[in-house]
Amino acid sequence: MTMENDRQMRRFGFSLRISSRSSRRLATSVMYPVVRGLFILLAGSAFSCESTIAVNTETPADPAPVRSETDPFQGQKADDNARDLKPAVHISTGALYDRGKQALSRSEFGKAIELLREVAVTRPDDVELHYWLGVAYWNREQGEQAIQAYRRAISLDPDVDSEWSLFALENLAEVYTRTDHAREARDTYRQSLLLETREEWITKIHNQIAELDLGLGEFVPNRDAVYNERGEIIGGVGPGLMHTNRNFEIARQTNDPVKEEKYYRLAIETEPQMYQPYFNLGLALVHQGRFDDALRWLVASDEVWKRDSIANPRQTDKADAQAFLALCYVELGDLDRAVEHSRRALATGESNYWATLYSLRLKIERGQVDEVLSQLEQLAGANPEHAETLYTLSLAYETSGRLVDAKRMLRRAVDAIPENHPWMDRLRREWHQLLLDADVSQTP
């Protein structure tokens, strides 16, 4: 049985989750930490998670590169095996279209959506255009709109003569997987198997289907299956022989932190030696603003991770667990403990975005804003729609007395969160109230 290396995808520090998958290649954005994550200008995913997502890292033939993204903070993904990717975009005619894809390359997803929608008015039958719209929506955490855009791209090329429509099909399956549409995801992956010719991707898709079957209670085990004492499958799933279980798969197929909490707890009961659900449960509680409750599970994820001699032969601290422990203690007002966990996160030597961001947040809370302001401005410049980064920069401006800049940045943070997001909407409401309170306090 193979045990997967820790994976984490895109976005918002609050949006990491872990996967159990082996031999997965994750396409993520080096310039945009969430959603998990995931800006490759080819495929997207809605979460910065340790996750089991397979997305395309190839472009159709003869792409013209727009810009190679580099990572100014040595990796802004919470990914134990993060690799920089250099997005490439096929540039079509039309200045507006070009501007839309340039906005994508700068992680300005809201702007890209605005421009690409305008182009779609005059080019409603452009497969590639609707593909990029799907990418932009998915990176902005707007799953239903991404589904509509990808489905439109596929409907315009039902015979899949263009690679854009094949990639749209595979990305649509991923969006379905992450948004409580497991059966639709499985059907879409099966459809893509009829068209896919890349051996590596065929294997990945078979793995995805096996995990979806497991979550749906329809997995048919073979002799490689591994069981716990209760007779529940805990490994040997799919060609990759993934170490996973049904409850874990149900949890990873939703954006709802309450549902995640329920099923990650059950996943831990099913297989206590699997470190991923401990971490994901901690993050589900962070998503709900339950920082005190999250501590136990983040600590447990680190402890179980250290006992995993296959995934962690050096028995090091789990950098992301330590980073989120630091965040929790900052939120709880215990800065001394936050300092300790932040130090441990950074001491792993990993390129971990969350360890970097939360160390900067901690310095602000300790009155060391002058040490971090320039670095935060660079970070926000590289991630112009990453809400948590913008919020942290707003705190830095406020602490340094730059109240106008603080309000401007906080407003950008609020605008970066889509309405009715399953868990980020809580932050949107809280930060919007801060803006209202600031307006009242400045009224003569």
- pLDDT tens digits along 1-37: 333 333 222 222 333 334 433 222 222 222 223 222 2
Q: What percent of the chain has pLDDT over 90?
A: 73
Least confident span in 115-124, 421-430, 431-440: 431-440
* Res 443: pLDDT: 59
* Cα 191 to Cα 138, 164, 237, distances in angstroms: 21, 15, 21
Least confident span in 18-22, 155-159, 390-394, 406-410: 18-22
Q: In sequence order, what are the residues at sequence separation of 6 or more whose Cβ sits closer than 8 angstroms to the Cβ of residue 195?
A: 160, 166, 169
Topology adopted by domain 13-193: 1.25.40
Q: What is the 3-state secondary structure (H, E, C) of 48-77?
A: CCCCCCCCCCCCCCCCECCCCCCCCCCCCC
Contact present, 76 and 107 (Cβ < 8 Å): no
The rounded mean pLDDT for the chain is: 81
For the domain with range 298-441, which CATH number is right: 1.25.40.10, 3.30.70.20, 1.10.287.3610, 2.160.20.10? Answer: 1.25.40.10
Where in the chain are all domains bearing CATH 1.25.40.10? Answer: 13-193, 298-441
- pLDDT tens digits along 242-259: 999 999 999 999 999 999
* Res 437: pLDDT: 86
* Res 309: pLDDT: 85
- pLDDT tens digits along 39-52: 223 222 223 344 43
The residue-averaged pLDDT of 372-400 equals 96
- pLDDT tens digits along 42-79: 222 223 344 433 334 344 433 222 222 222 222 222 23
Q: Give Cα 28 to chain centroid, integer Å.
A: 8
Q: What is d(CA 206, CA 202) in angstroms, rounded to the nearest whole number?
A: 6
Contact present, 31 and 69 (Cβ < 8 Å): yes
Handedness of CA 97, 99, 105, 111 (dihedral sign): negative
* Cα 302 to Cα 14, 269, 365, 415, distances in angstroms: 18, 17, 25, 34
Q: Identify which of 350, 273, 364 has the alpha carbon closest to the alpha carbon of residue 310.
A: 273
* Res 73: pLDDT: 26
Radius of gyration of the CA atoms of the chain, in A:
21
pLDDT > 70? residue 219: yes
pLDDT > 70? residue 198: yes
pLDDT > 80? residue 199: yes
pLDDT > 50? residue 193: yes
73: DSSP letter? T
* Res 317: pLDDT: 95
Q: In sequence order, what are the residues at sequence separation of 6 or more whose Cβ sits closer than 8 angstroms to the Cβ of residue 171?
A: 42, 43, 44, 55, 56, 134, 135, 138, 146, 150
DSSP β-bridge partners for residue 64: 89
| Residue 283 pLDDT class (50, 70, 90 cuts) | very high
The residue-averaged pLDDT of 331-354 equals 96
* Res 406: pLDDT: 96
- pLDDT tens digits along 290-312: 999 999 999 999 999 999 988 89
* Res 372: pLDDT: 95
Q: If you write DSSP's letter for every residue of 373-415 in order, what string do you get?
A: HHHHHHHHHHSTT-HHHHHHHHHHHHHTT-HHHHHHHHHHHHH
Contact present, 177 and 209 (Cβ < 8 Å): no
